[in-house]
Amino acid sequence: MKIAVFSTKPYDQEYFERYNEKSNFAFTYFETPLNHHTANLTSGYQAVCIFVNDKVDSNAIRILFKNGVRLIALRCAGYNNVDMEAAKEYGIKVVRVPAYSPEAVAEHAIALILTLNRKTHKAYNRIRESNFSLNKLIGFNLHGKTVGVIGTGKIGTAFCKISRGFGCKIIAFDKYESDEVINLGGEYKSLVDVFKESDIISLHCPLNPETKHMINEQSLSMMKNGIMIINTSRGALIDTADIIKGLANKKIGYLGIDVYEQEENLFFKDLSESIIEDDMILRLISFPNVLITSHQAYFTKEAMEEITHTTLENIRDFEKGEILKNEIA
């Protein structure tokens, strides 16, 4: 079976080649993302394997179908970048990796909190310049703080467990309450109450029409002054223009993001010798209380292994005509 892999980085190819022995699939790796401009590259392939910033809209799906593609295999959990109605119309199956390493993302969210709070990144740079001063490095105890968790799926629940270990009070919002979170001592509240009562808010929900730009000027106005906001989920959960205003007027005390609304033009690329034309990311970078990582929360050995194994299994099931347990209905 011939599979075209898009948005490929060296580590993607390394893991697929390492674990492809049993399947013996014929992978072709494209560094370019998949979209309606690049979909013609799929001629002669039965499946495509895509990642978070590939854009598979109705035009791309029409070309994929024409070229003989019958399976879209996402090597990630989110699928907001795929036009599911168009895929159903053309009879193209879509599978995903629903969970790979919830702990990886949850731990990265905690790393953002600790780094922003205790300013270890700034201390590291100071010491390298022989500056041993503690001025402006003061943080706060996590113990006793109220952490608002929006979205308590596997990642959100893993995040709650770690936060409880620090002695934080957990309040949460999700349409579907988790017994595990409740047993940890977490309390479910309305979204408005989570906004109002939290010292730290961490986003772990999917992106859909209901959640897009849920962090905006209105929701920020409900929050405590100096709120810490962490986003390791999807960039468009945050209205970037409004978050910049919140940082400028000091409503937001700390912002840690591993995702960004326009990240497809930036993340996973080395732009160190380029002029970045995204004014909003440049504005965010300019704030001393903002920490940005480039979609690396998932990036652990364990997560890469799970993503690879599940993706290969999804493709094998399709090839054999078996039930696709990770199909997006």
- pLDDT for 281: 97
pLDDT category, 100, cuts 50, 70, 90? confident
Query: Beta-carbon neighbour count of residue 312 at 10 Å?
Result: 21
Residue 192, pLDDT score: 98
Q: What is the mean pLDDT of residues 222-247?
A: 98
Identity (one letter) of the amino acid at 294?
A: S
* pTM metric for this prediction: 0.91
**Residue 138: what pLDDT?**
97
Q: Rg of the chain's alpha carbons, rounded to an integer?
A: 21
Domains 2-100+301-320 and 102-292 share a fold: yes
Q: Which two tokens stand for residue 130?
A: 């022989």
Amino acid at 179: D
For the chain, the domains span: 2-100+301-320, 102-292
Q: Judge whether residue 112 has pLDDT over 90.
A: yes
Rounded to 5 degrees, φ, ψ at 220 are -60, -35
- Asked whether residue 329 carries a pLDDT value surpassing 90, the answer given is no
Distances in whole angstroms, Cα of residue 59 to Cα of each of 62, 63, 64, 263, 279:
5, 7, 9, 22, 29
- The rounded mean pLDDT for the chain is 96
Mean pLDDT of the 178-195 span: 98
Kindly report, residue by residue over 140-149, the tens digit of the pLDDT: 999 999 999 9
What's the CATH architecture for 102-292?
Answer: 3-Layer(aba) Sandwich (3.40)
- Does pLDDT of 249 surpass 90? yes
Q: Would you state the pLDDT for residue 17? A: 94
pLDDT for 225 beyond 90: yes
What topology does CATH give the domain 2-100+301-320? Rossmann fold (3.40.50)
The pLDDT score that the predictor gives to residue 23 is 81
**Is pLDDT above 90 for 285?**
yes
Q: Is the pLDDT of residue 290 over 90?
A: yes
pLDDT classification of 77: cutoffs 50, 70, 90 = confident
47 vs 12: CA distance, rounded Å: 17
Q: Which residues are catalytic?
A: 234, 263, 295
Residue 196's pLDDT band (cuts 50, 70, 90) = very high
- On the question of pLDDT at 22 being above 90, the answer is no
Contacts of 254 (CB under 8 A, 6+ apart): 116, 117, 226, 227, 228, 229, 289, 290, 291
Which of the four pLDDT bands, split at 50, 70 and 90, describes residue 21?
confident
The Cα-based distances of 282 to 264, 290, 292, 294, 297 in angstroms read 15, 11, 11, 14, 21
Of 300, 328, 275, 310, which Cα lies nearest the Cα of 108? 300
Encoded tokens for 234 = 């999807």
Q: Are the CB atoms for 220 and 251 separated by under 8 Å?
A: yes
